[in-house]
Amino acid sequence: MACLKISAVRKLESGHCCVIPSYVSSDRLWPQRLAYKHYVSVTSAQQCKFISVIYPTHPLFRRHSSWRVLAAPVSLDEEPSSLSEGENFDGTSETVSDDASEMLLPRKLKSDEVSLQLKSLLADAERQKLTRKLSEANQYNRFLKRQLQIKEDALVKFKSELAVLELELQALVGLAEEIANSGVQLGSRKINGKYIQSHLLSRLEAVHEKAKEQIKDVDLLKFEEITLFWVGMAESVQVMGSFDGWTQGEEMSPEYSGDYARFSTTLKLRPGRYEIKFLVDGEWQLSPEFPTVGEGMMKNNLLVVE
């Protein structure tokens, strides 16, 4: 590498410019000439001389390189000092190192900012995706509830029609029984070994029994209103269970009385057996008011709807 020696002149006029040649090393990567300028500044306090040195910021470029200008104040009263080859070389290396660190630091900060922005964009996209899915699930849930209500209304109407039909069949069975008991007229024909009056009575009784069974089946499909309670001190209580597949559950309304609160809610359930559990302030708890089934983490309260 080329080494630069600068010898300052004590009495240098203002604006003096001198071009100092530099020795070219074996790799021939340094430019042929370096320039420096001396400027004299005269003030009332003291006279100072400024030395500005121009040198390439990177030794790997030959002609089309960027240049850096350094300026250092030197008092005119002081003796001129010379920079040794080692000092000049070390100063250049330190300047190049500082320049490289100055270039790398903004790049690192910019890279960190870009990384944070990408993470933020990904988080926003994922949040929007989850929000959209939740909205679609809520819409589908409301649609299912409307369809369920429509089916429930149709079921109630069908049960009413079955009840009317059952009453008509019951009246016909009474009439057929009365006719059968009135006596058998001469010439009455038989069906399957029975007189027609007795055969009509047996057929009406069979249809009547079938209608009553269908009414019972409809009653099994009908929702029953079941009121649940949980007593204790809490801010929020939610009942979860197999009645909705342990998905949403039902919020319970509090009624405060003294040192405790009584939470209650009403569920519309079909007859059957259900496992339930209470979510009290984010913690799973069992109620002593209901029997329990299962063991360990699978232990739940049992709710029987008849």
pLDDT at 94: 45
Q: Whole-angstrom Cα distance, residue 219 to residue 224?
A: 9
pLDDT of 190 over the 60 cut = yes
202-234 pLDDT, tens per residue?
A: 888 888 888 888 888 887 777 888 999 999 888
- 216 and 253 in a single domain? The answer is no
The fraction of the chain above a pLDDT of 90, given in percent, is 17
**Angstrom distance (rounded) from CA 199 to CA 38:** 136
75 found inside a domain: yes
Q: What pLDDT, on the 0 to 100 scale, is given for residue 108?
A: 61
What confidence score (pLDDT) does residue 180 get?
80
Q: pLDDT tens digit string along 79-134? A: 444 444 444 444 444 444 555 555 555 666 677 787 888 888 888 888 888 888 88
Which range of 31-35, 46-50, 67-71, 109-113 scores highest in mean pLDDT? It is 109-113
Q: Each residue of 44-55: pLDDT tens digit?
A: 444 444 444 444
The owner of tokens 């910021």 is: 57
Residues 274 and 290 in one domain: yes
Instruction: Specify whether 20 is located in the same domain as 35.
Output: yes
Q: Is residue 250 part of a domain?
A: yes
Could you say which of 193, 221, 249 is where a domain stops? Answer: 221
> Does residue 240 share a domain with residue 288?
yes
pLDDT at 302: 95
Q: What range does the domain containing 34 cover?
A: 16-83
Q: Do residues 261 and 275 both lie within one domain?
A: yes
State whether 161 and 201 are in the same domain: yes
* Domains contained in the chain, number: 3
Asked if residues 195 and 184 have their Cβ atoms less than 8 Å apart, the reply is: yes
The amino acid at residue 199 is H
Task: Kindly state whether residues 208 and 229 are assigned to the same domain.
Answer: no
| Residue 166 included in any domain | yes
Query: Mean pLDDT of all residues in the chain?
Result: 72
The 3-state DSSP class for residue 277 equals: strand
Residues 229 and 217 in one domain: no
Q: What is the DSSP letter of 22?
A: -
Evaluate if residue 261 carries a pLDDT over 70.
yes
Give me the CATH number covering residue 296: 2.60.40.10
Q: Is the pLDDT of residue 244 over 80?
A: yes
> How many Å separate Cα 88 from the centre of its chain?
60
